[in-house]
Amino acid sequence: MPGDNPRAQQKATGLPADVIILDLEDAVSQTNKEAARQQVQSTLEQTDYGQREVVVRVNRLETQCCEEDLTALASNPPDAILLPKVESADELFTATVTLNALGAPSDLAVWAMIETPLGIQHIEEIVTATPRLACVVAGTADLASALRITHSSTQLGLLYALSRLVLAARASHIDAIDGVFFNLQDSNGLRHSCETGRQLGFDGKSLIHPSQIETANNVFSPDPESIAYARKVVAAWSELDAHKQGVLVVDDQLIEALHVRDAERLVELSAAINAMEQDSQAS
């Protein structure tokens, strides 16, 4: 949401979203950059977002605005800083050096938005550039434009680029977030876009309006049957380990360690979703 929109930022305290991104870049006009920066600082100081992560998207690294953004955020940090249009490992390294020089907390994470063909070409180096990097975000609109393809819910022309991004993220054990869907009236298109993103392996989806949250949450959340089965697998594996047996079968399915890891992740994800729902209801 725009960094210069205090009403939207306040409203976000009750949204059932995992992450709130306050934007100082594209959503803010050049003449309003300083006002947006001050508003974001005020929001970070005064607004309680509960369990939601708060991320601030700064301006491009080579701009004076970015230097001013990082200076302001180093002493009043969000959970993470999102760098736009990252195309090389050097950019992330420079951002890390800058944050360290400004005295930013060591646990201040950095997210990278990959929006260009060059960013995709360098994605393997980007995801290993700094230990601060916690997430990569697909900037599908800019990427589609650069590739001269239609930005649609099927994302057909983006499949190679998005799969490469997810593969690099998984290899480095960081999260990956799919890009936005712009047509607020096309609910079927949004669902299809979310389903495509989940099938590609993304952890979630960037959204531009609160009306999109319910669909994204439904698509990216595990269904109750999967959660129940995952709990059964975790419990059975725990008992198996206690008895030092070598084979585990649950509901006629042979279970190995990789299945248990997947089940444990689902159980943890379910707990996080429940906590977020309770937080949203309380707000």
Instruction: Say whether pLDDT at 81 is over 70.
Output: yes
CATH code: domain 6-220 is 3.20.20.60
* pLDDT tens, position by position, 144-153: 999 998 766 6
The tally of CA atoms less than 13 A away on the side-chain side of residue 279 is: 18
- Would you state the torsion angle of the CA atoms of residues 65, 70, 75, 77, taken in this order, to the nearest 10 degrees? 110
Does residue 87 sit in helix, strand or coil? Answer: coil
Q: Which two tokens stand for residue 273?
A: 């979703």
pLDDT higher for 154 or 41? 41
Q: What is the pLDDT of residues 257-267, one digit of tens each?
A: 888 888 888 88
Give pLDDT, residue 245: 62
Higher pLDDT, 131 or 233: 131
pLDDT of 184 above 90: yes
Specify which residues 255 forms β-bridges with. 248
pTM: 0.87
pLDDT above 70: residue 243? no
pLDDT (0 to 100) of residue 265? 83
Per-residue confidence at 222, pLDDT binned at 50, 70, 90?
Answer: confident
The two tokens of residue 17 are: 């979203």
Cα→Cα distances 257→117, 236, 280, Å: 37, 12, 35
Residue spans in the chain of domains classed CATH 3.20.20.60: 6-220
